[in-house]
Amino acid sequence: MSRAGRLLGFAGLCALAVVVALAALRPAPVHRDTIYVFGTLVEIEIRGAPKTDARAAATRVGRLLREVHDDWHAWRPGGALSRLNAAIAEGRTTMVDPRLAAVLRRGRQLSRASGGLFDPAIGGLVALWGFHADTPPTGAPPAPDRIAAVLAKRPRMTDLSIEGLAVTSTNPAVQLDLGGFAKGAALDLAAAELRAMGIADAVLNAGGDVHVLGRHAGRRGGRTGGRPWRVAIRDPFMWGAVAAVSLRPGEGLYTSGNYERYFDHDGERFAHIIDPRTGRPVQEIVSVSVLDTDGARADAAATALSVADAGDWARVAAAMAVEAVLIITDQGQIWATEAMRDRLDPQIAATVRVFGQPHGPAFRPGPGPDAEGAQQAAAAGPNGARPDVALPTPAIQTPRGG
């Protein structure tokens, strides 16, 4: 080959290398879809996949979530759970589909692990407080004697009998409401569907409950240049975040709080999280976030820890096999397990009180850490990085005594 030919060949290789380098620097393809289920907007974001594959996967996941929403709906007539509740009230056995049977078994197992603090069998109490509706309740809370009448019937998930697909209850007062862990269980199913379709990098955001696959593939060329998904933990008192966490592939962050579904009467707030022991809404805890690879478990544990007494937080978390927990009290205190504190940015971790240590601090009502400073640090994150997952629309409230 002549010298001129060699030079042309070298120039061609250089040009090709430049083209490849520029292609690698282009943003990875992103597909986003949004649907309304479980009383919230669910955002599906897929990164790095071919456009047709991403669109097909998002469509299939959307269809799955709509089916689960309809089947697991506690009060809308015609759904599978609604039919099952009617049958239980009449003392009949009902055949259900495999997906509902599986989630009921899981709910029963998680209820046992929580010591009954998480109990999907108390749908009758949830309805009594007016939370079986698409709009918030209004007016006065239910009379104490009506609450006592439901409590006296002692509906429990342990009353439920599940033999194959046949479901019945020894207690006709059981009325199932899966709201305490439905989003976590549904996002588990959605994530499995995405993986089955070959999607490597994605985030599912159900109103602030988040499950991630892979990494945030920021550049074309995929995961080699990706970084962890960064997710905010919402401040329950004002618009903003109290912290942010970088999620590893397959992890989820689930939060139970009293700031979205509630009503006020005579200056007192009544939220949708009901204590199965008292039949009344939880008040001392305004937010519990749990980080885990199992969405159903994390969601159920967030509900149970919202109900638990402060002295039982460590025990309940251990019994439900969750390690990373962050709790915000009605006084603005931020508490966390050591595992969760270790996942927070250092400037946030310094403001957090740790529970579950053998000689850790006892719970004392009182002023919490500097919320404004925590917010600013959470918003900026390490090296100014901001969360990838947007916060849901806020509901403003002020701390008691604040």
* Contact (Cβ atoms closer than 8 angstroms) between residue 229 and residue 268: no
Within 207-366, residue ranges assigned H as helices are 295-307, 313-319, 338-341, 346-349
CA 8, CA 13: separation in Å to the nearest integer? 9
Question: Which whole-number Å values give the CA distances from 177 to 126, 222, 398, in the listed order?
Answer: 8, 41, 29
User: pLDDT category, 76, cuts 50, 70, 90?
Assistant: confident
Question: Of the segments 69-83, 206-220, 291-305, which one has the largest average pLDDT value?
Answer: 291-305
Task: Indicate the pTM of the whole model.
Answer: 0.84
For the record, the structure tokens of 224 come out as 């080699």
Residue 383 pLDDT greater than 60, yes or no: no
DSSP category for residue 390: P
* Contact (Cβ atoms closer than 8 angstroms) between residue 203 and residue 388: yes
Residue 253 pLDDT greater than 90, yes or no: yes
Pairing state of beta strands 229-234 and 241-247? antiparallel
CA 115, CA 111: separation in Å to the nearest integer? 6
Mean pLDDT of the chain: 85
pLDDT digits (tens, 9 = 90+) for 337-350: 999 999 998 888 98
pLDDT score recorded for residue 133: 83
pLDDT score recorded for residue 225: 55
> Residue-wise over 182-194: b if at least 16 C-beta within 10 A, else e?
bbbbbbbbbbebb
pLDDT score recorded for residue 240: 87
Instruction: For residue 209, give the nearest of 235, 183, 176, 180 by alpha carbon.
Output: 183
pLDDT score recorded for residue 18: 38
Q: What's the distance, Cα to Cα, between the start and end of the chain in Å? A: 83
CA 347, CA 38: separation in Å to the nearest integer? 35
For the record, the structure tokens of 240 come out as 């903003």
pLDDT digits (tens, 9 = 90+) for 34-68: 999 998 999 999 999 999 999 999 999 999 999 99
